[in-house]
Amino acid sequence: MPTITITADYDCYMVYQEQAQAVYWKEATQATIRVGYEYPKDGYPTHYRGAWRFPLNNLPADATVTQVRRKYYCNGAGGASHLVDDHAYGSNGQEDPGADIGYPGYPNCASGNLYSDDSDEFRTTGEKWRTLGGSVCADVQAAKAAVNRFSLALHEEGDDDPYATIEALEAAGSNPPQLEITYTVPVVWGGSALPQLQMAKAVLGLYLPWSKRFPKFTPRIF
């Protein structure tokens, strides 16, 4: 089955700071994406969630998605109890983190469909591939049809463990955030799209006896 690897075209992290009145903002030009918790920052508990946007231009419009994996490069390990959840950004990945500010961006990083739960992978550094589950295949297909992009988010379970850092697009390294999509497409036969079963029947027909394939041209003995 064909597979494509897509590099994100936008990333950021959303920030929530527990001041007397809640303060939210977005960081979209840093070299790393923060996911987790920091205290104190400017004297206040501060929480970070990450978001990524992937263009779907190279995914065929008639593709049936069978598997989705994401890759992030962790260059700063989180705390000893650090756990992360992968979500669709927003509700189903069709929302655009590039268009959002800190609020509703921060809640949008944890409100969408859940694709992976309580992973401890960011307790260590290195390249982190994860196969996403849940409704991700259907969500990618729907996002292709609706907005031609797909957005993912990552938050630390409880937002209460020291944050990990993930290499951002702005970094000078060679480990950009990526999405790997495996898919199938309808088989093209004779210039029209046919289901694979119909194609199989057509091919198998070539092995039928002459009399079955061309009954009008088969001599009849009386």
Please report the pLDDT score of residue 188 as a whole number. Answer: 74
pLDDT tens per residue across span 25-64: 999 999 999 999 999 888 999 999 999 999 999 999 999 9
Going from N- to C-terminal start, the domains of the chain cover: 3-185, 187-222
- Domain at 3-185, CATH class: mainly beta
Q: What percent of the chain has pLDDT over 70?
A: 85
* Whole-Å CA distances, 36 to 44, 102, 111: 14, 15, 16
CA angle 125, 139, 53 (to 5 degrees): 50
Q: How far apart are CA 18 and CA 6, in angstroms?
A: 36
Residue 87 has pLDDT above 70, yes or no: yes
Nearest to 117 by CA among 134, 105, 94: 134
pLDDT tens per residue across span 110-119: 999 999 999 9
Q: How far apart are CA 28 and CA 218, in angstroms?
A: 74
Reported confidence tier of residue 172, pLDDT bands at 50, 70, 90 = confident
Model's pTM, two decimal places? 0.85
Please report the pLDDT score of residue 173 as a whole number. Answer: 80
Please report the pLDDT score of residue 197 as a whole number. Answer: 53
Q: How far apart are CA 12 and CA 120, in angstroms?
A: 21
What's the chain's average pLDDT? Answer: 90
